[in-house]
């Protein structure tokens, strides 16, 4: 592979975006906030964009309309689930959020799916639910947990998708293991998808500086983390073929890094 594209583990893209608009977004795991949106997303076939199935804890209508059977049917057709989770700052009553989150986790338990989980201001509650109902690959988005909570999350098999605000926290810098790291833009609907690589690169720079690595090493690392994580879970083949192929190539290159022009530039291996 000549150049490894950016890998965005959490962004929001309108399913109405045209293939041309998505052509230069890099590899993206596109979250959905409601089952209606997910229904549109999972029907799409993009070379570099995978669509998840979500029910956002800040979206009252989506939370009220959540149906676990429909969620399960959509998850069967999707590469991953997200965005689901809890948020104590949301106007959606916490009781309703908890009910939806628990039902979603029960559907996901035992299925080979990565799950992007919103945890803002609700880290302890999210961990409690994940202990009660284990899912294959929990990926914590907007993680603000303390060091002890982060270790608890690691013990539960969690990965952490980091955007710039999270990257600036010292707790993240010191306590999230490198092999659990993913990078995200948390891009919004109104921003152009072509801006995603710039936003991901900015987070790559932040994390690279904090961890004493090069930007190229961080990019390789997150691709390898995705490939290994989903490979172990049996979920790599669910991703769009080009994304799965890039992840496999990076993982198989791990023992022969100089074979890739991208890695040779960085001096790895
Ligand atoms: Zn999000």
CATH superfamily of 7-212: Metal-dependent hydrolases (3.20.20.140)
- State in Å: Cα 214 to ligand 1 middle: 27
What is the distance in A from the centroid of ligand 1 to the CA of 106? 21
Q: Round to whole Å and give the CA distance between 15 and 180.
A: 29
- 202 alpha carbon – ligand 1 mean position (Å): 18
Distance 9 CA to ligand 1 centre (A): 10
pLDDT given at position 75: 98
pLDDT tens figures, 205-239: 999 999 999 999 999 999 999 999 999 999 999 99
CA of 58 to the centre of ligand 1 (A): 10
pLDDT of residue 1: 53
**Tokens at 175, concatenated:** 């306590």
CA of 54 to the centre of ligand 1 (A): 10
Q: Structural domain boundaries of the chain?
A: 7-212
Structure tokens at 194: 């072509």
Residue 11 CA to ligand 1 centre (angstroms): 6
Cα of 18 to ligand 1 centre, how many Å? 21
pTM metric for this prediction: 0.92
Ligand 1 midpoint to CA 267 (Å): 34
- The pLDDT assigned to 269 comes to 29
Question: What distance in angstroms lies between residue 249's CA and the mean position of ligand 1's atoms?
Answer: 28
Ligand 1 mean position to 147 CA, how many Å?
Answer: 23
Distance 56 CA to ligand 1 centre (A): 8
**What's the 22 CA to ligand 1 centre distance in angstroms?**
18
Q: What is the pLDDT of residue 165?
A: 87
* pLDDT at residue 255, rounded to an integer: 55
Compute the CA torsion angle 202, 26, 17, 68 (nearest 10 deg): -90
Burial class of residue 50 (count of CB atoms within 10 Å of its CB; 0-12, 13-18, 19+): buried
> In the structure encoding, which two tokens stand for residue 203, read together?
């987070």
Q: What is the pLDDT of residue 72?
A: 98
Distance of CA 191 to the CA centre of its chain: 19
Q: How far is the CA of 31 from the centre of ligand 1 (A)?
A: 7
Q: 262 C-alpha vs ligand 1 centroid, how far in Å?
A: 30
Please identify every stretch of the chain with a pLDDT value under 50, giving residue numbers as ranges.
Answer: 256-269
Q: Can you tell me the distance from the alpha carbon of 147 to that of 153, in angstroms, rounded to the nearest whole number? A: 10
Please tell me whether residue 55 adopts helix, strand or coil conformation. Answer: coil
């Amino acid at each position: 592979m000549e150049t490894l594209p950016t890998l965005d583990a959490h962004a929001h893209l309108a399913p109405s975006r045209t293939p041309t608009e998505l052509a230069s977004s890099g590899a993206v795991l596109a979250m959905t906030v409601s089952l209606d949106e997910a229904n549109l997303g999972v029907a799409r076939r993009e070379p570099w964009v995978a669509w998840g199935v979500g029910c956002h804890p800040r979206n009252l209508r989506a939370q009220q309309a959540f149906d676990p059977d429909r969620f399960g049917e959509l998850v069967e057709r999707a590469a991953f689930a997200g965005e689901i989770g809890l948020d104590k700052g949301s106007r959606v009553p916490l009781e309703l959020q908890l009910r939806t989150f628990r039902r979603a986790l029960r559907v996901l338990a035992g299925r080979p799916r990565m799950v992007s989980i919103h945890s803002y201001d609700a880290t302890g509650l999210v961990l409690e639910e994940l202990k009660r109902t284990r899912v294959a690959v929990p990926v914590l988005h907007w993680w603000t947990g303390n060091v002890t909570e982060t270790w608890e999350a690691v013990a539960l098999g969690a990965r952490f998708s980091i955007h710039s605000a999270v990257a600036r926290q010292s707790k993240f810098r010191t306590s999230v293991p490198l092999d659990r790291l993913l990078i995200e833009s948390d891009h919004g609907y109104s921003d152009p998808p072509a801006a995603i690589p710039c936003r991901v690169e900015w987070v790559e720079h932040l994390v690279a500086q904090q961890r004493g690595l090069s930007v190229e090493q961080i990019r390789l690392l997150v691709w390898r983390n995705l490939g290994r994580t989903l490979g172990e879970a049996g979920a790599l083949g669910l991703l769009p073929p080009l994304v799965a192929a890039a992840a496999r190539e990076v993982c198989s290159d791990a023992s022969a890094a100089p074979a890739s022009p991208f890695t040779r530039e960085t001096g790895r291996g």
